[in-house]
Amino acid sequence: DSLDETLYGLQRRWQPRQAWRPGPSWRAEALANARRLMLRPGDDRSGFATEVQAEQDRGDHVAQALTLRGALGDRVPALYLRPRGDGPHPAVLLLHDHGARFDLGKEKLVRPLRPSPAAEAWVQRWFGGRFVGDTLVEAGFAVLAIDALGWGERSRPGFAKDDQQALANQLMQLGQSWAGCIASDDLRAHRWLREQPGIDAKHVAVLGFSMGGFRAWQLAAVCEEVS
């Protein structure tokens, strides 16, 4: 019995201290550390300098092609679907996948304003011929989708899987991470959506598929408004 007690005492003494502790103070500390480690350094409260590139009346809603200022200071193309009526409307930030397809980004989930056979083919293959954003706006949700860095209008012709390492390495040499830049842009996009007129800021969901699911997980880790 004394040997068992001695071994138990040693185990308790050398047991690694767990970072997690119950209570509200743990969440604040963890959030601060997650934001420090994941996000691009700097103030994510800077303005968006929103520019409306085009607008389309789609009957029960309006579709807009926008650009927003991103975390790197570049222009981030976006598609925004706004239901008719004053609201306040619930909203969804849609986060596109990887799919080894870099010429499409936001158009994988929201019907673009100009005809896109590539986007139509993608949606036909993976989503039964229905754009997810169209389905959500018909149900009364406002919808925003942006191009992640490296996809859609933030890619370049011929960008392929082998080019990913070069982009990631370049960002690392600048003291950044590719995933961190994407998380920073997604955080800003979620805030932009919450701040729009007619939006119920307390009911802004995040939805993604494949890599978009990973992006949603990242956003939940660094954004208190996502739970």
Q: What are phi and psi of 59, to 5 degrees?
A: 85, -90
Please give the C-alpha separations between residue 23 and each of 94, 135, 181, 199, in angstroms, as whole numbers: 32, 40, 30, 32
Residue 168 clears pLDDT 60, i.e. is over it: yes
Condensed to tens digits (0 to 9), the pLDDT of residues 110-139 reads 999 999 999 999 999 999 999 999 999 999
In the numeric block, the tokens 């550390």 are attached to 33
The pLDDT of residue 170 is 84
pLDDT given at position 159: 82
- Report which of residues 213 and 177 the model is more confident about: 213
DSSP 154-184: GS-TT--TTHHHHHHHHHHHTT--HHHHHHH
The stretch 91-106 carries a mean pLDDT of 95
Q: Is 128 left (phi over 0), alpha (psi -120 to 50) or beta?
A: left
Query: How far is 82 from 3, CA to CA, in rounded Å?
Result: 70
Please report, as a single letter, which amino acid is at residue 10.
L
Predicted confidence at residue 206, as pLDDT, reads: 97
